[in-house]
Chains A and B, each alone.
Chain A
């Protein structure tokens, strides 16, 4: 079977750095995605990792270790607008669907 785990909730203050972890067990691996979802809106794509290492995109970075089945999303210089749910999703074995974790709700306070 397939399983994706992330913390349910996290809190942080403006200007801080936060790391959201994701662990996965899947049959095969064809990429890991991070999405952001604000309340009442559709998920929007943030980052993609298919090889081990760090991908940086502005204030957001994502890391992948395939051998450990582990990824994290790093958000720097937090802003109030970063308060949202962050979803980890994995493409497993070729020909299988994109599967999501339950999401991590991040609350940023001033």
Chain B
């Protein structure tokens, strides 16, 4: 296993467009996390899955954000009607239960 992979690595989109990111976790990991990170800040929790169930979603997450993990393997994060404030690095991480989480390289989103 080569670790957590995310696609795309970079995305530039116009304000108002929809974007979708993909994360492939480490295969035996049952937990998958999405975080957003801006410059000089720690990763901000967005949502997480245990297998295919979405167990927690940040109260800061607007209804423009949705995530899925349909078969308990890969996950997608969609942002609808993007705004300039959505510009950030979107990080995916996976873990086996509460053991250490491993991060992907992230998707850098720029909304213009």
Residues of the B chain whose Cβ atoms lie less than 8 Å from the Cβ of A103: 40-42
- Knowing A87-B43, A97-B45, A100-B35 are in contact, say whether A42-B105 is a contact too (CB < 8 A): yes
B42 and A100 form a contact (CB under 8 A): yes
Neighbour of A102 across the interface among B41, B56, B102, CB < 8 A: B41
Contact B100 A100 (CB under 8 A): no
> In the bound complex, do residue A98 and residue B102 qualify as a contact, i.e. CB atoms below 8 Å apart?
no
Contacts of B40 in A (CB 8 A): 103, 105
Query: Do residues A42 and B41 form an inter-chain contact, with CB atoms below 8 A?
Result: no
Q: How far is the CB of A55 from chain B (nearest CB, A)?
A: 12
Q: How far does the Cβ of B9 sit from chain A's closest Cβ, in whole Å?
A: 11
The answer, among A33, A97, A102, for a CB contact under 8 Å with B100, is: A33
Q: Could you mark each residue 63-89 of chain A with 1 if its beta carbon is under 8 Å from any beta carbon of chain B, else 0?
A: 000000000000000000000010101
Instruction: Check B42 against A42 for contact (C-beta < 8 Å).
Output: no
**What is the CA–CA distance of A29 and B35 in the complex, to the nearest angstrom?**
20
Q: Determine whether the beta carbon of B55 is less than 8 Å from that of A43.
A: no
Which of A30, A96, A100 has most chain B Cβ within 10 Å?
Answer: A100
In the A-B complex, the 4 residue pairs with the closest CB atoms: A42-B103, A100-B42, A103-B42, A102-B42
